[in-house]
Amino acid sequence: MTPAEHAELALLLEVAGTPKPGNVDRERDLDDLRFEQFLAGAVGAREGLEAAANGPVGEAFETAVAGMADASGTNTQFGCLLLLTPLVRAAARNDLSPEGVSDVVEATTVEDAAAFYRAFEHTDVAVPDPPAGADALDVRRGADAVSALRERDLTLRDVLELSADRDANAAEWVEGFPRVFRAAARIEAARGPVADRAASAFLELLAEEPDTLVVTEHGEAVAEELQERALGLQAADREEVAAFADDLAERGVNPGTTADLTAAALFVALERGVAVDD
């Protein structure tokens, strides 16, 4: 399979894994998101994922987001695609490693950053407020912020570095994807159906650090509560994890950044030889 095909499969396996507390999976919809929308989003993102192998990273990301939004009717995998795009490029260059993906990130341009901002016009995305003094660079401005990007000569890496202390996906971009590669190694070392390994990886990632989407939408205290509960469930049985998932679904608390990291880790594991028939 090509890197783009593995990326699409990673998106499908991520949403198929269950139980994933607070997230859509094959056994659980949310009030405003359904399982089949994630399947459609993964298929819709294919053109952008294919473009990521050789074309500009920012343009590929915007294409993937637009296709996802058109197919699913909403934002299903924006954060996943942000992580997958540079990983697909690194894999296409036969250098899927922290160093290889860092090279991709360092090579991004101002035009990549402009495409990243335009991607926010295709769907609604929950993001934290910009740092103090950076209102002109608020991603919620979409294309209206592109002139400020060009005036300051900011690449896509530069833009993501601005929020790396508040957004786990941005931190992965600027730090060499450490959590993604660690989670991928755990998926590789595990046994059983890959979707089940994905669910386990999700819980382990949730236990590592507070989910930054939860921080944005519900505050630090709720995010820390989820982390503590996930830590206590590492050796729990499936029924206890499912009860946690039901509780978060009822409360409307969605650790979506953890799902993004899980999808990216699945991609790395698939590229390294994990197969659905293992």
Q: Where are the domains of the chain?
A: 3-271
Average pLDDT, integer, range 8-29: 94
Q: How confident is the model at residue 51 (pLDDT cuts 50, 70, 90)?
A: very high
Phi/psi zone of residue 204: left (φ > 0), alpha (ψ -120 to 50 degrees), beta? Answer: alpha
Q: Which of 131, 191, 85, 215 is nearest to 77 (CA)?
A: 85
Residue pair 217/35 in contact (Cβ under 8 Å)? The answer is no
Among the listed ranges 24-28, 82-86, 134-138, 195-199, which one has the minimum average pLDDT value? 134-138
> H helices of the chain, where?
3-16, 35-44, 46-52, 57-72, 78-92, 98-106, 110-119, 146-152, 156-161, 168-175, 178-189, 194-208, 212-218, 220-232, 238-251, 256-271
Cα–Cα dist 119/102, whole Å:
22
- 168 CB neighbour count, 10 Å cutoff: 22
**Looking at residue 236, what is its pLDDT?**
67
Cα–Cα dist 42/36, whole Å:
10
**Looking at residue 195, what is its pLDDT?**
94
Residue pair 169/260 in contact (Cβ under 8 Å)? The answer is yes
**Looking at residue 20, what is its pLDDT?**
93
| pLDDT at residue 133 is higher than 80 | no
| pLDDT at residue 134 is higher than 80 | no
| pLDDT at residue 7 is higher than 90 | yes
Cα–Cα dist 99/115, whole Å:
24
Domain at 3-271, CATH class: mainly alpha
Average pLDDT, integer, range 57-74: 97
* DSSP-based three-state secondary structure for 8: helix
**Looking at residue 129, what is its pLDDT?**
80
How many residues in the chain?
A: 278
Tell me the pLDDT tens digit for each residue of 147-185. Answer: 999 999 999 999 999 999 999 999 999 999 999 999 999
